[in-house]
Amino acid sequence: MPRRFAEISFTPSVKATQSHYGSREANLGFEQADDPKNILSERERQFIVARDGFYQATVGENGWPYVQFRGGAPGFLKVLDEQTLGYADFRGNLQYLSIGNLKTNPHISLILMDYANRRRLKIWAQASVIDVQDDPELIARLASPGYQADVERAIILKVEAYDWNCPRHITPRYTETEINERILSPLMARLAALEQENQMLKTASLSPVRQE
């Protein structure tokens, strides 16, 4: 059984190119894998709900790909079941490029980055667009309480395939929260301990020398 991502993306032209550059044999492994990797396991689900953004590609009816960033509160991309994701789409610059593209072609690709840990996950899916007035309950389920944004619609993604990339060439980057957790908190704790020690040493050095 082939990896689902290879079934989707190893087009005749891609296979011919693999042959041209001598990697066709190596890539056959993806087409003979035991696990098609189209059902999200616990590992992918945990990774997805920890993200605060992702890059999303759609295709216009003229064949041009279009990539846009979607961001929100951590966990705004929700796992509805092991093959379904959903997110609340916010009001933006009113160009509606992604939504317009999805009207003629539901194919969508996401790339989810974890810069701090140098991990990334690619997802292929079929998207459907549901306007707020058509399913307010779904919108309520997808919204992030307290996050400042006007929700215009829900995007539901039926996952067809996923694939993890290797960490090469991902430069580690840290969010403000990650900097606080990983760097500033331990530094502040160390600083506080040193201040306390310094104070004790000062107090001891200022105490009168005991006369025997």
Ligand X SMILES: Cc1cc2nc3c(=O)[nH]c(=O)nc-3n(C[C@H](O)[C@H](O)[C@H](O)COP(=O)(O)O)c2cc1C
Q: Which residues bind ligand X (CB under 6 A)?
A: 68, 92-93, 95-98
Instruction: Please state the closest distance from residue 56 (CB atom) to ligand X, in A.
Output: 8
Q: Which is nearer to ligand X, 93 or 205 (CB)?
A: 93
Virtual CA dihedral for 186, 190, 191, 196, nearest 10 degrees?
140
Residues in CB range of 93: below 8 A, 6 or more apart: none
Instruction: Please state the closest distance from residue 96 (CB atom) to ligand X, in A.
Output: 5
Instruction: Please state the closest distance from residue 152 (CB atom) to ligand X, in A.
Output: 9
User: What whole-number distance in Å separates Cα of residue 12 and Cα of residue 6?
Assistant: 11
Q: Which is nearer to ligand X, 95 or 207 (CB)?
A: 95
Question: Bridge-partner residues for 67, per DSSP?
Answer: 57
Instruction: Please state the closest distance from residue 43 (CB atom) to ligand X, in A.
Output: 28
Q: Which is nearer to ligand X, 48 or 102 (CB)?
A: 102
Cβ neighbours, 10 Å, residue 115: 14
Q: Which is nearer to ligand X, 95 or 133 (CB)?
A: 95
Query: Which structure tokens are listed for 85?
Result: 């994701």
